[in-house]
Structure 1
């Protein structure tokens, strides 16, 4: 098993470590931070790569309906399949939120291909 394939890169968000150098993320932490970066980037936001990101940001002003939820789940799955080749997306779901109806907790269950380790990431997304 070659874990080096998972890579080492700048941490997200970019920050300094205890030595005042740019902090890095390694291996599975790098994958997790990559997923977060994909979901946090709206399509068209990056000038040199306008197709990068996730279309969930197109739904910020959409009503909290089952149709919106279904489209968000589809957008998350599509973006991760396109932009994160180190994982297999096992499931994408929204966790129920009764206290904050405009907060959607997007639960992503994924498997890192080279290690077969499974992880879950919950990404908060707000509808206005």
Structure 2
């Protein structure tokens, strides 16, 4: 068992825990929506995905994001997952990412979808 994300307390009043497969999903979400430079002592951690919310929507942007996200997933989570498919969609002021992956520990295949609307007052 791992600490659940976002951090919260469980019904027993203690730190909530997550199953290993759910923890991996949480790690992917953290990597996707962390801006490079946001983490102390890890200035390159993150995917840069949130910088693209207000960028002009195009196939080129989606392809560039897929490349940078795949590279970040490989760099930071490559020992935990094997990415099998990745798609990025930018619609208006929201980003949608679908990741299909296999857990290296068990071989279990999972597909997760992540969406992040632009926050009010957020800028590129």
Other-structure match for 1:91: 85
Tell me, in whole angstroms, the C-alpha distance in 1 between the residues paired with 2:86 and 2:61.
14
Residue from 13, 21, 27 that aligns with 2:14: 21
Q: How does 1:62-101 map to 2 (within 5 A)?
A: 62-84=55-77, 85-94=79-88, 101=92
Q: Greater relative contact order: 1 or 2 (C-alpha under 8 angstroms, separation 6 or more)?
A: 1
Displacement of 1:52: 1.2
The within-5 A match list for 1:94-113 is 94=88, 101-113=92-104
Computed over aligned residues only, the root mean square deviation of the Cα atoms, in angstroms, reads 1.9
Q: Which runs of 5+ in 2 are unaligned?
A: none
Question: In structure 2, how many angstroms separate the alpha carbons of the residues matched to 1:33 and 1:54?
Answer: 15
How far apart are residue 116 of structure 1 and its match? Answer: 0.9
SS at structure 1 position matched to 2:30: helix
For residues 101 and 29 of structure 2, what CA distance do their matches in structure 1 show?
13
**Which runs of structure 2 are paired with 1:37-56 in the superposition (5 Å)?**
37-56=30-49
TM-score for the superposition, normalised by structure 2: 0.84
| TM-score when normalising by structure 1 | 0.82
Query: Could you list the runs of 4 or more consecutive aligned residues of structure 1 that deviate by over 6 angstroms after TM superposition?
Result: none
